[in-house]
């Protein structure tokens, strides 16, 4: 049925590999706005992620109203991503290992909201000595489109057995898209949605959720048969 025995892993960008919260927080600050602490940020619905909580909402809304204001906000976010944003600890080492493995197809799927997202992430990953062209694929999914079809399209194009395919994400929609496309999810709770929100509100199995980037790197490395980067190794109990 399948012509190769390769494995596939689809990496999510913001909130899974990239510390998006810190970048967004810096952007808001430079426009005199407040994002709120990370714990409250993780609890918000997507519509309110970038408007703040009850405390920050009124002031932030005034400063985001109007096409020009939002354009300036996106321009600042783009600048922060391109010049300052970072990958989470251990992620760069994990990516290098995945890219170097001859039997693993690895790529990046993102909804990144900056101007020219591909160029933005190219510059960000370059600061970690990773060439975006070294990935097997890169895909930007607009906000109005579902990820599931993109995931399925990539897997079919690469002719990968779904039983040998993995998806990484930090939101419940990533989990649903993984299941819906017949692939295995690696979920994290240090990104856009908290551990409690993923489990209690969306019934994501706790067993597949990593609470820290180090734990995530360890899980992926173990599943893919890679030597875990030093920062990602979990001490024996």
Strand spans (E) along the chain: 7-12, 104-110, 137-140, 165-169, 184-188, 209-210
The fold adopted by the segment(s) 7-19+87-229 is Rossmann fold (3.40.50)
Give the closest residue to 57 by CA, choosing from 71, 36, 38, 72.
Answer: 36
What is the rounded CA–CA span in Å between residue 27 and residue 74?
A: 9
pLDDT in tens, the chain (237 residues): 788 899 999 999 999 999 999 999 899 889 887 777 777 677 655 543 444 444 544 454 445 545 557 788 899 999 999 999 999 999 999 999 999 999 999 999 999 999 999 999 999 999 999 999 999 999 999 888 899 999 999 999 999 999 999 999 999 999 999 999 999 999 999 999 999 999 999 999 999 999 999 999 999 999 999 986 655 444 443
Calculated CA dihedral for residues 94, 184, 165, 131, nearest 10 degrees:
-30
Q: What residue segments make up the domains of the chain, in order of their start?
A: 7-19+87-229, 20-83
pLDDT of residue 168: 98
pLDDT of residue 16: 98
Give the closest residue to 6 by CA, choosing from 104, 140, 88, 77.
Answer: 104
pLDDT of residue 2: 84
Tokens for 2?
Answer: 């399948």
**Whole-model pTM?**
0.85
What is the rounded CA–CA span in Å between residue 183 and residue 161?
A: 9
pLDDT of residue 229: 60
What lies within 8 Å, CB to CB, of 161 at 6+ separation is 1, 2
Q: What is the DSSP string of 138-154?
A: EEE--TTS-HHHHHHHH
What is the rounded CA–CA span in Å between residue 158 and residue 4?
A: 9
């Amino acid at each position: 049925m399948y012509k190769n025995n390769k494995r596939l892993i689809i990496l999510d960008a913001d909130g899974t590999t990239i510390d998006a919260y810190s970048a967004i927080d810096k952007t808001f600050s430079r426009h005199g706005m407040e994002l709120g602490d990370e714990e409250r940020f993780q609890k918000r619905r997507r519509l309110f992620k970038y408007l703040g909580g009850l405390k920050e909402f009124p002031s932030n809304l005034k400063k985001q109203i109007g096409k020009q204001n939002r354009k300036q906000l996106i321009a600042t976010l783009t600048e922060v991503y391109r010049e300052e944003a970072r990958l989470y600890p251990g992620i760069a080492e994990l990516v290098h290992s995945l890219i170097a493995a001859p039997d693993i197809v690895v790529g990046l799927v993102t909804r990144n909201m900056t101007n020219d997202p591909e160029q933005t992430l190219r510059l960000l990953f370059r600061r970690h000595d990773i060439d975006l062209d070294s990935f097997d694929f890169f895909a930007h999914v607009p906000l109005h489109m579902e990820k599931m079809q993109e995931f399925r399209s990539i897997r079919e194009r690469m002719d990968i057995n779904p039983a040998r395919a993995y998806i990484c994400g930090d939101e419940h929609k990533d989990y649903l898209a993984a299941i819906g496309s017949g692939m295995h999810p690696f979920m994290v709770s240090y990104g856009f949605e908290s551990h409690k929100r993923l489990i209690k509100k969306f019934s994501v199995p706790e067993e597949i959720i990593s609470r820290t980037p180090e734990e995530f790197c360890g899980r992926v490395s173990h599943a893919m048969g890679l030597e875990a980067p030093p920062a990602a190794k979990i001490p024996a109990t």
